[in-house]
Amino acid sequence: MKHQTLLSGAAVLGSASASPAYHPSVQDGIAFAASGLVERALPANAPHGYVPQTNPCPSNTPSIRNATDLSSQEKDWLEVRRNATVQPMRDLLGRMNITGLDTNRYIDDNQNNASALPNIGIAFSGGGYRAMLNGAGHVQAWDSRTENSTNSGQLGGLLQSSTYIAGLSGGSWLVGSLYTNNFSSVSDILSYSGDGSSLWQFENSIFEGPDSGSIQILDSVDYYSSIRDSVENKQDAGFDTTLTDYWGRALSYQLINATGGGPEYTFSSIARQQWFQDGEAPLPLIVADGRAPGELLIASNTTVYTFNPWEMGSHDPTVFGFAPLQYVGTNFSAGSPIDNDRCVTGFDSASFVMGTSSSLFNQGLLLVNNSETSGAFQDALQSVLESALSAVGEADNDIADWVNPFYHYNNDTNPNAESRQLTLVDGGEDLQNIPLNPLIQPERAIDVIFAIDSSADTNETWPTADSGSGWPNGASLEATYRRSLNPIQNDTAFPSIPSVTTFANLGLNSRPTFFGCDSSNFTNASNIPPLIVYLPNAPYVYNSNVSTFDPAYNVTERDAIVLNGYYSATQANGTLGDNSWPTCVGCAILSRSLDRTGTEVPEVCSQCFQEYCWDGTIAQGPLSDYDPTYKVPDEEVSVTGGAGRLGAYGAVVVGLVVGIVNLI
């Protein structure tokens, strides 16, 4: 008899499920070590809040570097981080039952040469709160700090074994929130709903603002007024602002556990935290696209920009340069500050970085303003929008306006070389909704990428529970592959990816699939791309195909989407199929490393690759309808009390924005 879990109230915590292999379940709850949230990243721009500051430059004057190699900071950090991954990787692989290979001995034999060992990256796609929460379930499953995540069938420690973690749009909210809260665990964040925390509390939509009882102590009117004041103060200081400033500031109230959403917290300050310097977490990367006002973006003509705690810039041959993020508001020309004595700091507010990567959601603020709101709330919002749109037209309201550090830099190829402004937009607007670009760069030498795809590609209609719309279909992977065939990819290799029709007709969009398994298929032995472990969002125990533009979720639905992501990451704790998933994850992690060290591939890994690798089969013809059913029906979860979905403002947002974009 099917067991349907019913959720109706607050967050649920408790013991293990009755399943033979332990897995967290909502009916019994995920057992959290409620250790609370650690301190946030440095308030580097205090007491100035959101307003950038101009001060004397440091003695080592910042400059733009070319992208021929990694930065010296990243190289130095990598030595620390790669060594820190050795023991977690030893523990992880030792639990994966890779018969025919003594993984402990393999790690021990190569531990003095970390570059011989697997180099792991993780990528979280865009897709609003759906992407953030689905991604959070994967993080939780792969985090050894999650209780019981290192039991049989579990994959805890994969996060600790990884070197890089990238996010885009909704995925950037996950990555940005984890790191601006000092890499707190997902379990701690979900369980820390009391004591005044407003972190990941989505009952009130971002368009309404936090409850007055939270640490923010604001009603909706004061919420918008506070956001407006902080952005206008930035503008009064001489910096251009757009709607993205307002969007990012609003977003931070939900993602940064600080009063007012921590306007003084910068993304570059992560690099100054001791836990990060000690290599205790992967390197966070956030992706956005370059776009001139009115320009149409496609993967083959778009410059992809990456933010990390040290830098922002692009590996693409258009710009091919990186600027020091801490000083990115400075007026550079030809790679150097125009005035060597004056440098800007505080421009890289963490909220602005996350808002830039998700600027598509600016549309929501505009549409809420056109909804049936009234009174003081409407007046406050109207004031915000009038300020935001005074500098840009509504046709360009998805733009984030950065001071261009690449002014007169690489003039022959840089499309923004003559502009003082660098206009960036949501990282998924070029159809590459999974942030793979920074992870496939040859100088990072990543062996395997776990690509979590929370896109809403299918059917292009409003997703409702029990419908086939709102799921991924492989379009993002295909876009990155097609880009790899163009000069803008700068000869960066990528595995072959089939069309979305083949994805659907072979069912590759509903189960894990490996791409690029056989490294001998790549003609350039010095430029072999990572193996891609593709993990599409699918209904394991919950219909997580909520709309990208759903603005509010009660605690129980939030946790149900996270749980569904946990089941995706672990394939129902290794119980789906022939129970080989943990072993096959281990084989994917080791694949490139075994090639590099000349180690014979165990037979069990050959079997895994036969099961999970795309073998090149093409299945064209009529596109199959996609209406998935629960993969673990006995653990199906349903949520009562509504999800806060849509609500008074969200219905307007969804109804109009769905017509603007269907990718993310």
Judged against a pLDDT cut of 80, whether residue 530 lies above it is answered with: yes
The per-residue pLDDT for range 424-468, each reduced to its tens digit, is 998 888 999 999 999 999 999 999 999 999 999 886 543 444 456
What radius of gyration do the chain's Cα atoms show? Answer: 23
The per-residue pLDDT for range 193-251, each reduced to its tens digit, is 555 566 898 988 887 787 765 555 566 778 888 888 999 999 999 999 988 998 899 89
The domain spanning residue 441 has which CATH number? 3.40.1090.10
334 within 8 A of 409, measured Cβ to Cβ:
yes
Q: Which of 61-70, 256-265, 333-342, 452-461 has the lowest mean pLDDT?
A: 452-461
160 within 8 A of 143, measured Cβ to Cβ:
yes
Cα 186 to Cα 255: distance, rounded to the nearest angstrom: 12
* pLDDT at residue number 228: 87
Classified as helix, coil or strand, 124 is strand
Question: What's the helix, strand, coil split of the chain in %, to 5?
Answer: 35, 10, 50
Mean pLDDT of 102-117: 93
Going by pLDDT thresholds of 50, 70 and 90, the confidence category of residue 372 is very low
Q: Which of 162-176, 328-342, 394-408, 642-656 has the lowest mean pLDDT?
A: 642-656
Judged against a pLDDT cut of 90, whether residue 417 lies above it is answered with: yes
| Residue 398 C-beta-side C-alpha neighbours within 13 Å | 27
Instruction: Specify which residues 336 forms β-bridges with.
Output: 333
Cα 332 to Cα 329: distance, rounded to the nearest angstrom: 9
With respect to residue 510, please indicate whether it lies within any of the assigned structural domains: yes
* pLDDT at residue number 375: 54
Over pLDDT 90: what percentage of the chain?
Answer: 64
Cα 264 to Cα 214: distance, rounded to the nearest angstrom: 19
Cα 637 to Cα 560: distance, rounded to the nearest angstrom: 7
Cis ω before 47 (30° cut-off from 0): yes
With respect to residue 71, please indicate whether it lies within any of the assigned structural domains: no
With respect to residue 433, please indicate whether it lies within any of the assigned structural domains: yes
Over pLDDT 70: what percentage of the chain?
Answer: 80
Cα 352 to Cα 354: distance, rounded to the nearest angstrom: 5
Going by pLDDT thresholds of 50, 70 and 90, the confidence category of residue 291 is confident
With respect to residue 57, please indicate whether it lies within any of the assigned structural domains: no
**What are 191-197's contacts with CB under 8 Å, separation 24+?**
191/11, 191/13, 191/32, 191/34, 192/34, 192/36, 192/37, 193/10, 193/11, 193/555, 195/36, 197/37, 197/257
With respect to residue 49, please indicate whether it lies within any of the assigned structural domains: no
Classified as helix, coil or strand, 448 is strand
Going by pLDDT thresholds of 50, 70 and 90, the confidence category of residue 119 is very high
Classified as helix, coil or strand, 351 is helix
Mean pLDDT of 96-104: 96
Judged against a pLDDT cut of 90, whether residue 597 lies above it is answered with: yes
What is the DSSP track for 190-257? Answer: HH---TT--TT--SS-TTT---TTSTT---HHHHHHHHHHHHHHHHHTT----HHHHHHHHHHHHHS-
> What are the counts of helices (DSSP H) followed by strands (DSSP E) for the chain?
19, 18
- The boundaries of the domain holding residue 553 are 5-39+80-657
Better-predicted residue by pLDDT, 526 or 423: 423
- Strand 164-168, strand 120-124: pairing: parallel
With respect to residue 539, please indicate whether it lies within any of the assigned structural domains: yes
Mean pLDDT of 464-484: 84
Judged against a pLDDT cut of 90, whether residue 80 lies above it is answered with: yes
Determine which helix (DSSP H) or strand (DSSP E) holds 288, and give its type and residue range. Answer: strand 283-290
Domains in the chain: how many in total? 1
pTM of the complete model: 0.89
Structure tokens at 303: 């410059």
Cα distance from N-terminal residue to C-terminal residue, the chain: 37
With respect to residue 15, please indicate whether it lies within any of the assigned structural domains: yes
Judged against a pLDDT cut of 50, whether residue 656 lies above it is answered with: no
Dihedrals φ, ψ of 404, to 5°?
-80, 105
Cα 461 to Cα 333: distance, rounded to the nearest angstrom: 47
Judged against a pLDDT cut of 70, whether residue 3 lies above it is answered with: no
* pLDDT at residue number 612: 97
With respect to residue 72, please indicate whether it lies within any of the assigned structural domains: no
Mean pLDDT of the chain: 84
* pLDDT at residue number 359: 80
* pLDDT at residue number 516: 97
Determine which helix (DSSP H) or strand (DSSP E) holds 609, and give its type and residue range. Answer: helix 603-612
